[in-house]
Structures are given as C-alpha cells and as structure tokens.
Amino acid sequence: MQDAQKLKTTERRLRPKMIEGEHTFGTVSDRIGGITLKRRTPFGWFIGFGIGFLIVQVLMSTITYLLFTGVGVFGNNQPVGWAVPIINFVWWIGIGHAGTLISAILLLLNQKWRTSINRFAEAMTLFAVACAGLFPLLHTGRPWLAYWMFPYPSTMGMWPQFRSPLIWDVFAVSTYATVSLLFWYVGLIPDIATLRDRAKNKYFKIAYGLLSMGWRGSARHWHRYEIAYLLLAGLSTPLVLSVHSIVSLDFSVSQVPGWHATIFPPYFVAGAIFAGFAMVLILCIPLRVWYNLKDFITDAHLIYMGKVMLATGLIVVYGYAMELFFGWYSATEYERFMIYNRVWGGPYWWFYWLLILCNGVSIQFLWFKRFRESAFWLFIISLIVSVGMWLERFVIIITSLHRDFLPSSWGMYSPTMWDVSMFVGTLGLFLTLVFLFVRFLPVISIFEIRTLLPQANVHGHSEDFEENVIDVQDTEKT
C-alpha cells in the first residue's frame, strides 16, 4: 500500500441564502426604504391603485343600495339562509391566516426565510380581515347596531348569549384583528424610524415622526422590543389556530348534515393557511418583479412557500376524504344522502368536482421541481387554489343547506348581482389597501433583513453558524 497523502476535506451543505447580491446595512435600507421615499410615484402604481379604487366604488354603491333596501337584496332565502356573504367572510378570514402563520409561527420555529415576507403577509392579514369583517357586519342588516354584539351594560338589560358560536366569532375575529394590528405596528416602529430619518418631504417627516414615536434604536429599547415581539408571536400562535377553529364551530356546532363534523377545526385551519399562502404568492410574485426585490424575496422563498402550500393542501385533501368517510361510517341516512347529493346526485355536483380539481389535483404539480421552481406556475397554481378555496366553502355551506332533513323544504340557491358586486367590491378594497401600503410603508422588514446580513453577526460570519449548516460530510481523498 502506498503511503499516499491523505486529504481530509469537510463538505458542508448550507441552507440557501436568504439574501442574494452584495448588500450592506445601508443598501438594504435604501433599496426597501427607497420604494416609499422615491420622489416620483411610478406610473404603474397609479394604474393599479386606480383600478382598485374604481372597484371600491362598486362596493360603496352596493353598501348604499343594501342599507337603503335591506338584506333582501342578497340571494339568501329559505332553505339557504347562510349563503355567499358567509362564504366570502370565511374565504377572506382564511386568507388572513397565512400572514400570522408567517409572522408568528415561523418566527417561533426560527425560520429565517419568513423575514422577507412577513411584513406584507401581515399587511395582507389586516386587509383580508377588514374585508371579511364587512360581510357579517352588513349582513346583520342594521350595521349601526352592531355594537349590540359586544358585552356592555345596556339600558335594555340584555347581554350577548355566550353559548353561541356566533358570539365566539365576534370575540375571536375582533381579537384577531386587534392583535394582528398590534403585531404589525410593533414590527413597523424601527422601520418607520429609518424612513423618518431619511425622508425629505415635510409631511412624510411629520407622519413618520409621529408613527415612530421617537424610536432611536437604544439597546435597552431593543431588549424590551425583542421580548415583546417574541411574546406577541407566542400569543398569536394559539390565537390564529383558535380563530379559524371558532369560525368552523359556527358550522359544526349546528346539526346540519355536512356541517356537524369533528374534523372541522383542524381542517379549516389547514385550509386557511393553504389559501393564505396562495394569496401571499399572488401578491409577492408581481411585487418582487415590479419593485426589483428579487435580492430579498429570492427563488428559495417561493419554493418554500410552494412546499408549505403543498403540505397544507394535502391536509385539506385528507379532510375531503374524511368527510366522505364520515358520511359513510356514520350509518345515518341523512349523512349518507348529504355525501351522495354533494358528490354526484345533487344539482351542485359539478362544484364538488371543480373543487377537487382546483384544490386536490392542481397542487400535485408542486411535487415536481419544474413547477415548484417556476414563478409563473406557482402564480397560476395559487390563483387556482384561491378559486378552489372559495368553492370549498360553497360546497360546505350551500350544498349542505339546500337539501337537509325534510325533502318538502328543499330548494335551490343562486346569488343575486348584489352578492357578486359586494364580493368584487371587497377585492377592490383589498387591492386599494395593498397599493396604499406598498406606497407608504416599507414592504419588507428592513431591520430584520439587516440581521440576516453576514456582517450583522458579532465576531463571525453567517456561514460559520451552525443553524445554516444542513449536514456535514467528511470525505477523505487519496
């Protein structure tokens, strides 16, 4: 045997870089802050905002007509008393969930890739919850009396009925909206301070100055700030899981076949995250192109989101399978009829198969690298999933209600033009709010991106950090 020189080399597989290109603390601040502080608003922004704002007018007209006429303008009627308004409510609330998942749960799990997308995912949550809130509020018919749903010592001597899932909903959704707003604002404070110190325009200076509350980056402030941020993440995590669970209890606490199922809470939460990630992808794929943010929202981010979408989508598909199984295993004729009516026997059977196509079949493409790594296909699949999640709520709500226990009270449902215009209007509201947000606030968390830069680590570089190393292989070459 030769006594050859042995070279021992260590190969380390590193996680994909979360920031591409050569960046310093300064360039990061300029690139992200520059979007808001640019002297001229890009022309494309006005087009996008204009389209959104025009559609908001559709919403305004609908609300005006609704308030002058009454909820009879919607298609809801016996036997389908809950219809498109609650479908839209559940759809919007679900979309919001991905924002909290990204900002809270992924923070607790120490997933660095959340940093680039958490800010606008949180903004998306807020706007989605705002759109969602409109539906139950206006569906009450007299929204000016909506405060009756909150517990306060009234002269009528009445209180909310705390055993009702609808009152749980009031508590869950209003807490969710409040905590999401707080979380978002706390995350914004240091970044608004950055904008305040760089703004040239007087009005921007005043606005950012007021919002940043005089943040100066003191070590003691950061210390408490990080504690508060982590605690908020810890509080938001059970909160977000509770919100869609409670929304699902609106249905499953009742006894309608197709609603009364124990699988509803986890199945709704998975569906919410699934729909939410689809919406995050729909927003961030054009955003990173239009605002040249590919250094921060890299292809790796899109691939991760695609994987989360695949995983949650499979949970949802499992939920569909379990619904079929429960119907059969219940040995109740009503449950069995509900499944028969939903899948092939009823007039809405094609909604079910469209749903399976959108949510079950389309995501299978994400198993393949070719689709997962293409922004175009991710965008298309996300659009399909968004439609699919709307159809899921249609299938659950409408097909369960329109044929329940008594054949004599069966009926059909179709939405009116006001149902449609209200939904389209909230899409416009969402679009408008997103455009305003992109224009006036930093879309990516600047201070958290700074911490991802290698030079942010005291004494060392990020490559040496254990958390960035996936596995280590010692190979010996002779």
Residues 22-51 that bind another protein (CB under 8 A): 24-26, 29
Question: Would you say 212 and 196 are in contact if contact means Cβ atoms under 8 Å apart?
Answer: yes
Nearest approach in angstroms of CB 166 to another protein is 11
When the beta carbons of 196 and 393 are compared against another protein, the nearer one is: 196
Give the separation between CA 175 and CA 169, rounded to whole angstroms: 10
Give, as one character, the DSSP assignment of residue 363: G
Q: Omega of the bond prior to 79 within 30 degrees of 0, cis? A: yes
Q: Which of residues 286-305 bind another protein (CB under 8 A)?
A: none
Give, as one character, the DSSP assignment of residue 159: -
Nearest approach in angstroms of CB 221 to another protein is 5
Decide: helix, strand or coil at residue 140: coil
Q: Of the ranges 59-67, 116-124, 195-203, 362-370, which one interacts with another protein (CB under 8 A)?
A: 195-203
Decide: helix, strand or coil at residue 12: strand
Total residues at the site for another protein (CB under 8 A)?
A: 71
* Number of other residues whose CB lies within 10 A of the CB of residue 101: 27
Q: Which of residues 136-155 bind another protein (CB under 8 A)?
A: 151
Q: Is 112 in the site for another protein (CB under 8 A)?
A: no
Give the separation between CA 205 and CA 203, rounded to whole angstroms: 5
* Number of other residues whose CB lies within 10 A of the CB of residue 422: 27
Give the separation between CA 180 and CA 174, rounded to whole angstroms: 10
When the beta carbons of 131 and 232 are compared against another protein, the nearer one is: 232
Phi, psi of 167 (to 5 degrees): -75, -35
Binder of another protein out of 31, 112, 114, 196 (CB under 8 A)? 196
Give the separation between CA 159 and CA 233, rounded to whole angstroms: 32
Query: 386, 394, 384: which is closest to 361 by C-alpha?
Result: 384
When the beta carbons of 23 and 403 are compared against another protein, the nearer one is: 23
When the beta carbons of 110 and 408 are compared against another protein, the nearer one is: 110
Q: Which of residues 443-462 bind another protein (CB under 8 A)?
A: 447-448, 450-451, 455-459
Query: 62, 56, 54: which is closest to 416 by C-alpha?
Result: 62
Query: 440, 393, 429: which is closest to 188 by C-alpha?
Result: 440
Nearest approach in angstroms of CB 167 to another protein is 7
Nearest approach in angstroms of CB 335 to another protein is 21
When the beta carbons of 193 and 339 are compared against another protein, the nearer one is: 193
Q: Which of residues 202-241 bind another protein (CB under 8 A)?
A: 202, 205-206, 209-210, 213-228, 231-232, 235-236, 238-239
Q: Which of residues 238-277 bind another protein (CB under 8 A)?
A: 238-239, 242, 246, 249
When the beta carbons of 143 and 209 are compared against another protein, the nearer one is: 209
Binding characters for another protein, 157-186, by CB under 8 A (x = yes):
xxxxxxxxx-xx--xx--x--xx--xx-xx
Give the separation between CA 77 and CA 412, rounded to whole angstroms: 9
Nearest approach in angstroms of CB 457 to another protein is 8
When the beta carbons of 7 and 219 are compared against another protein, the nearer one is: 219
Give the separation between CA 48 and CA 46, rounded to whole angstroms: 6
Nearest approach in angstroms of CB 259 to another protein is 16
Cα atoms found within 13 Å of the Cα of residue 211, Cβ hemisphere only: 23
When the beta carbons of 1 and 219 are compared against another protein, the nearer one is: 219
User: Which residue spans within 341-445 are E strands per DSSP?
Assistant: none
When the beta carbons of 243 and 279 are compared against another protein, the nearer one is: 243
Q: Which of residues 367-396 bind another protein (CB under 8 A)?
A: none
